[in-house]
Amino acid sequence: MEIISPLLPYYSKHGAELILGVTATNYDQKAIRLEAFSRPLWGLVPFWAGGGNSREFEEIYLSGLAAGTDPESEEYWGGFHAFDQRFVEMAAISYGLILAPDKLWEPLSDGTKDNLVKWLGGINQYELPVCNWVLFAVLVNIALKKLGREYDAEKLEIYLKGAESFYLGDGWYQDGDSGQKDYYVSFAIHFYSLFYAKVMKEEDPKRCRTYIERAELFGKQFIYWFDENGAALPYGRSLTYRFSQVSFFCACLMAGAEPFSTGVMKGLIVRHLCDWMKKPVFDRTDILTIGYGYPNLVMGERYNGPGSPYWALKTFAVLMLPDEHPFWQAEAEPLPPLEEQKALPFADMLIHRYPGHVTGFVPGKYSPAGHGQTPSKYAKFAYDTGFSFNVAKSVWEVHEAAPDSMLAFYINGYVYVRRICDDFHVTEREVVSRWRPFEGINVETIIIPNEKGHIRKHIIESDRDCTAYDCGFAVEIDVAEEKLLAGETFAQVKNFYSECKVSIISGNGKGEVIVADPNTNLLHPMTRIPAICYQIAKGKNEIITEITAECRKRG
C-alpha cells in the first residue's frame, strides 16, 4: 500500500478521476484521468483477491465506477471512438470485476451495474488496433460472461484468434502488425493469456493449456533479459512501466505456469523490485513519474500520461496467491545456470551475459510507425542492463543526438543513425544487418560479442565524403572518480563502478568523448559517450571497432 497510498489526495470529488499532473498525451484529458484511476487496480485487485482490505480505496472505486459510467455525472468517462484509450483502461476494471467482484461489483446498485455493463460493452462496437489491444476486449467479454451479463461471444472468439495470429513459435509472440518483440510480449500478451488460463480453464481447457505451455517456453528465454542483480534489459518502448518488466513471472505464479521453480521466480521478482526501489522513480510526494531511472519526459511516448506508470503494479499479481501458496514460504533463489551467450531467434536478439551486466545485441528492425524515439529504443547495436541507452534531444548536433551504441553519420549539420534495416540475420555467434542511414549510403554491420565486450565491423558504400562516429555505451559521469580519456586510437569513460572503452582496429579515425546532453540517458541524468570519429571517403570503406565494457555492483 505504500506505493498507492500517496494517490489518495488526488482523486476527484466522486472518485472517477485521478489527477496526477498536467502533461498531455495523444488522447483527451478525460481519458488521461480515467487511465490514472484504472491503473492502480493492477495492484489493488490482487491485494483484495488475496484477502486484503482497504476501506478508503474500496469506497473510492465504488463511487468512481458509478460516476464514471453515469452519462448524467460530471465525471462521466464519455463515449467512444476507434482506437480509444478508454478501451485500454477497461482491462484493469475487468481484472477487478473477475477477481474481486465482492469489492467492485456486488456492492453496486442495479442501475450502476447496468451503466457499467453498457459502458464496458462499448469496446465491442469499435475497431481495435491489430496488436495487444485485442486482449483488452477479451478481458472485458470474460468479465461480462463471468458476471452473467450480455457479452459478445463472437467478438471474444475473433479476438482470441487474432491474438493467436501473433504467435511466432518457441513461446514468442510479436505485438500484432507492428512486428515488435519487446516487453509487450511479456507484460501484455503473455500476462493476459496467463490470466485467461487462470480464470477460463474449465470453459476453455485446451487453449488454457496452450497458454501455459507457451509461457513456460518463453520464460526459459526471457530470463536472459535479467542480470544477476535483478535489473532488466532497457529495450523498446513503454519503459516508463518500469518494474512491470518482471510481471510475466508474477503471472506465471498466478496461473500455475512453471518455467522455473517457485524459488527462482521469487528470487528474480524480489531482486528486480529491490533494484527499482533504489532508483529515484517517485517524486517528492511519492507519485510514480514518467521516466525510467529518474523523471524524464524526453524518453516518453505520446501515450505516457501522468498515471501511465502505474501499469507497473501488474507485478503485484502475486498478492492474490493464497497464504498456503509455496511462493510465501520459498527462499528467494539466485538465477539458475544460464548460457554465457544465447541467440533468441524469435526475438531477433543475441544475448551475452557479462559479470554484473547483460547485453542484448539486435539488428535494428522495427516498425516505422513509432510512438516516440523509436530508433533509440530499437535500432542501437547493443542494449545493456548496466548502462541503459540514450534518447535524442534533436538530430542537429552529435551531443544532442547522444548516439550511444550507434554508428552516427554527420552530414550537413545533421546526425543520421540506423533507420531503415533492409535485411538481417542473428546467429549464435553474430548479428548482421544491412541498413541505410541516408540516401546514397549503404552499410553492412557485423556485431561479434566476446568476453570483454564486442567487435563491430562496418562495410560502408557511400556516395560522399562524410564523418561517422562509432559510439560505445553511455557512462555516468556525475559520480566521484570519473575519468575521460581520448587518444589517436581509442576513447574511454570510466567511473568507480563502470567503464567503457572503444578502440580502432581498422579505419581512419580518432578517439573522442561525446558530451551527451543532460537527461538523454534513461538511467543516468549525466553521461559521456566514448567514440571513434571516422572519416568516411566516397566509395567503399571498411572500419572495425572494439568496444569493451565493465560493470561492478554499486554500493
Output the DSSP codes for 255-309: HT--SS-HHHHHHHHHHHHHHHHTS--B-TTS-B-SBSSSB-STT--TT--TTGG
Low-confidence ranges of the chain (pLDDT < 70): 368-369, 479-482, 555
Q: What does the DSSP 8-state code read for residue 500?
A: E
Is the whole-model pTM more than 0.95? yes
Given this model, what pLDDT does residue 555 score?
Answer: 57
- For CATH 1.50.10.20, the residue range(s) in the chain are 5-329
1.50.10.20, 3.80.30.20, 1.20.1560.10, 2.40.50.100: which CATH number matches 5-329?
1.50.10.20
Three cell numbers, residue 15 = 472518485
Q: Where are the beta strands (DSSP E) in 119-218?
A: 167-169, 172-173
Residue 205, burial from CB neighbour count under 10 angstroms (0-12, 13-18, 19+): exposed
What is the third-level CATH fold of 341-551? Beta-galactosidase; Chain A, domain 5 (2.70.98)
Spatial contact of 352 and 361, defined as CB atoms under 8 Å apart: yes
| Residues with Cβ within 8 Å of residue 206, at least 6 apart in sequence | none
Tens-place pLDDT, residues 63-99 = 999 999 999 999 999 989 999 999 999 999 999 999 9
Given this model, what pLDDT does residue 127 score?
Answer: 86
Given this model, what pLDDT does residue 461 score?
Answer: 98
Given this model, what pLDDT does residue 485 score?
Answer: 85
- For CATH 2.70.98.70, the residue range(s) in the chain are 341-551
Distance of CA 330 to the CA centre of its chain: 28
Number of helices (H), then strands (E), belonging to the chain: the values are: 16, 20
